[in-house]
Chains A and B, each alone.
Chain A
Amino acid sequence: MITVSQLNAARPADFASEAGNWSQFATWAGTAKEFVDQEMADLLRERSGETVTAALGRVTVLADNCEYARLQSGLVAAALDGLAEELGDAQRRLRAALAEAAEHGYPVGEDGSVTFPEVPGADGGTGWPGGTAHQGGNGPVGDYLDSVRALIGGPHAITAHGLAQRLGRALRQAEEIDERYARTLAALVVEPGLRITSAMWADAGEDLRTVGAALTGLLSAADIPAGATPAENAAWWNGLSEREQDTYLALFPAAVGALDGLPATVRDRANRGVLEIEYARVSTELAEVRAREPAAGDPGHGDWQREHDRLAGQVRGMESIQRRLEAGGSGGLPETFLLAFATEGNGRAVVAVGNPDLADHTAVYVPGTGARLENVEGDLVRATRLWRESTVAAMGESVSTIMWLGYDAPQNAMPFEQGEIIPSATSRGYALDAAPALRDFAAGLETAAGGPDAGHTTVIGHSYGSTVVGAAAKDGGGLATDDIVAVGSPGMLVPYAKDLGVGDGHVWSMAAGTLDDIVPNAGRMFLGENDAGIGIGRYGIPYLKTDLVPNVPSDEQFGAHIMANDSTGHSAYWDENSQSLRNQSRVIAGRYDDVELG
């Protein structure tokens, strides 16, 4: 039981000051992580040999500790901030009641009881007896009887009873706060040792929820903008103090990391934490699933196998991203930024090679059918190759290339594949669902970079990814990009390049020969668009438009620049040293005159 003296003597400001220390610790740990990654690990990764491998293993452990310290110390800081504020509130209530008791001359006991004097009667006898009022919290009946006693006890009794109630409430509030934050901090006691184990990362996810739940009414995920524009997101973020930003990052990394419009460095920091925690969680889940494999022939084996493969695929995808993030800054590549990450649906991952906020040229690559977290490796390789080739084309200007797996792509393109008679890749629904997310992402890039004139942007859609791009840009959708490139496109939901809103001079198409890449023709009837209907001609006279065959971007009548390419298949447009890769990169770098047309 907390006593009146203890609560009165508590120094909430000291907890706030301690929170500041932990916040600085978190900042230090974040900086140290970057230092270890860039000035130690990246250098070692460019070398090989026993010494280097051993050293890299140990350096990775240092980096893991820094990242874990960043996340955990941020949580400690948030918890202490919350404790300081809530305890301060309880203390203010207590002190106000104590001050009133002092004004009346009532002594107050350590348990919050208030003693009041007797009131002499007019005849010199006892008019109203003195006594002691106790704090409430004795249950409904006890509290009721106390109230009755006060009412019949005279004026002092009534006042003292009210004060005792207030003191009791303050003490009980403090006790609840103490218990809640003690439990929260207990969850944040770090294990001894050097390695950050998988279980520790998994616990870190639980810690987020524990601290978030403890901070009732102070900071909440509900305060983070939802459904707002990237500009509104940025305004919210910029309106926070540095400490508030740190607290949101520590407590709600997934929500902050998903906010379009925030700086790439902020999103990266948030999402890296999410990735570590999710990796640990899914790995643990996979180990549990593996441990309960049914016997072969068991009726439940099929379900078990599907669950196993799903989790194993997620782990594989996350490892691909981790490797890519680690490779940033070495091998001639710039730093890598994780702009979004989630395991929901088929998985979400947005990875930037180079900082898009600072780049002269930014490209967003949207993958197509079959794209999902588990096979993200191939799409990361494409974004990396685009960066290398565009950097050459940009002749000294800076480039950032982004792999945008920000939607649930259809997973099959051929009839009967995965048991579906009608392949999901023929549906427009996936593209229409994805369009708002792509629009917001592109607008967010523009906001974070400083406006539409801050740099040159190209959005590249491959296969069904080009349909997503079309869905985002059509009907005046306002996709924030300067150029659009459609590669192996089965259709963009518009009949003409000019319908994409960037000017037909800025729409580019690339497709291999009909036999090498059947997708444009196979998709045309489903995802292409024709120009049939009633048109308005000269003098306002209506006429019948009879273009019954839907256009795809590789058709001349679509109106895009048709780029030359040497691709030998639907997935070969990013082969190293290829004309296909070179031409895309020239568009990315804005070297339009150097693009070879087909």
Chain B
Amino acid sequence: MSNGLEVDPSELRGISVNSGVVAANLDVLLRLLRNAEGDGAAPGGGLDVVARLREVRTGWEERLATVRDEAADLEHRLDAAAGDFTAAEDGNRAELAAVGARLERGAAAP
């Protein structure tokens, strides 16, 4: 990471990509958790513990889905913010170039 405190759009994009990595990982993890439930045949029919385990699994599936959505949303927002900063930077650069050109023309004038 470069030093200084200004926002660097490329770094924001990097963090956005990483947030996407987290979201994608969570997607895989969720599939694994759901697959672990198998065909629904409980390993201990009639045992209370099976129902409680299902509640634990469902609870985590819901939370992980929420966390995955948050990571995905963060990915998109950071990417959009990086785009905004890039556009603003480009605008500033164009404005500075125009000011420079005007100054040069003024200096060249008799």
A: residues with CB less than 8 A from B are 2-3, 6, 9-15, 18, 21, 24-25, 28, 32, 35-36, 39-40, 43-44, 46-49, 51-52, 55, 58-59, 61-62, 65, 69, 72-73, 76, 80, 83, 87, 174, 177-179, 181-182, 185-186, 188-194, 330
Across the interface, name the chain A residue whose C-beta is closest to B63. A190
Interface of A is mostly: helix
| Interface residue B46 (Cβ < 8 Å from any Cβ of A) | yes
Nearest-CB distance from A115 to chain B (Å)? 23
Bound CA–CA A36/B26 (angstroms): 13
| Interface residue B87 (Cβ < 8 Å from any Cβ of A) | no
User: Which residue from B5, B18, B29 sits with its C-beta under 8 Å from A28?
Assistant: B29
Q: B11 to A43, Cβ gap below 8 A?
A: yes
Q: Assuming the A-B contacts A6-B44, A181-B49, are A189 and B7 also in contact, with contact meaning beta carbons closer than 8 angstroms in the complex?
A: no
Bound CA–CA A43/B82 (angstroms): 14
Q: B7 to A49, Cβ gap below 8 A?
A: yes
User: Which residue from B22, B33, B60, B64 sits with its C-beta under 8 Å from A36?
Assistant: B22
Across the interface, name the chain A residue whose C-beta is closest to B28. A28
User: Which residue from B15, B18, B19, B63 sits with its C-beta under 8 Å from A192?
Assistant: B63
The 9 A-B residue pairs with the shortest CB-CB distance, nearest first, are A14-B43, A185-B52, A182-B48, A6-B46, A10-B44, A11-B43, A190-B59, A182-B49, A48-B5
B33: which A residues are within 8 A, CB to CB? 21, 25
User: Which residue from B53, B64, B74, B81 sits with its C-beta under 8 Å from A58?
Assistant: B74
| Interface residue B55 (Cβ < 8 Å from any Cβ of A) | yes
Q: How many residues of chain B get a CB closer than 8 Å to chain A's CBs?
A: 44
User: Hey, what's the 0/1 contact readout for B1-23 against A, CB within 8 Å counting as 1?
Assistant: 10101111001101100110110
Q: Assuming the A-B contacts A15-B43, A181-B49, A185-B56, are A194 and B22 also in contact, with contact meaning beta carbons closer than 8 angstroms in the complex?
A: no
Q: A80 to B53, Cβ gap below 8 A?
A: yes
Q: B43 to A190, Cβ gap below 8 A?
A: no
Q: B47 to A10, Cβ gap below 8 A?
A: yes
Across the interface, name the chain B residue whose C-beta is closest to A48. B5
Bound CA–CA A48/B1 (angstroms): 13
Q: A18 to B67, Cβ gap below 8 A?
A: no
Q: Which residues between 30 and 88 of chain B lie within 8 Å of chain A, taking CB atoms?
A: 32-33, 36, 43-49, 51-53, 55-56, 59-60, 62-64, 66-67, 70-71, 74, 77-78, 81
Bound CA–CA A330/B19 (angstroms): 18
Q: A178 to B48, Cβ gap below 8 A?
A: yes
A3: which B residues are within 8 A, CB to CB? 46
Bound CA–CA A69/B63 (angstroms): 10
Nearest-CB distance from A26 to chain B (Å)? 11
Q: Assuming the A-B contacts A25-B33, A190-B59, A194-B67, are A32 and B1 also in contact, with contact meaning beta carbons closer than 8 angstroms in the complex?
A: no
Q: A65 to B63, Cβ gap below 8 A?
A: yes
A194: which B residues are within 8 A, CB to CB? 63, 66-67, 70
A186: which B residues are within 8 A, CB to CB? 52, 55
Q: B7 to A10, Cβ gap below 8 A?
A: no
Q: A35 to B21, Cβ gap below 8 A?
A: yes
Q: A21 to B47, Cβ gap below 8 A?
A: no
| 10 A-B residue pairings within 8 Å (CB atoms) | A6-B45, A10-B43, A40-B22, A43-B14, A51-B81, A55-B81, A62-B70, A189-B55, A190-B56, A330-B1
Across the interface, name the chain A residue whose C-beta is closest to B82. A51
Across the interface, name the chain A residue whose C-beta is closest to B38. A14
Q: A76 to B56, Cβ gap below 8 A?
A: yes
| Interface residue B25 (Cβ < 8 Å from any Cβ of A) | yes
Q: Assuming the A-B contacts A6-B45, A62-B70, are A39 and B18 also in contact, with contact meaning beta carbons closer than 8 angstroms in the complex?
A: yes
A9-B45, A43-B15, A49-B7 are known; give 7 further A-B pairs, CB within 8 A: A12-B44, A32-B22, A32-B25, A39-B18, A40-B22, A190-B56, A192-B66
Nearest-CB distance from A370 to chain B (Å)? 35
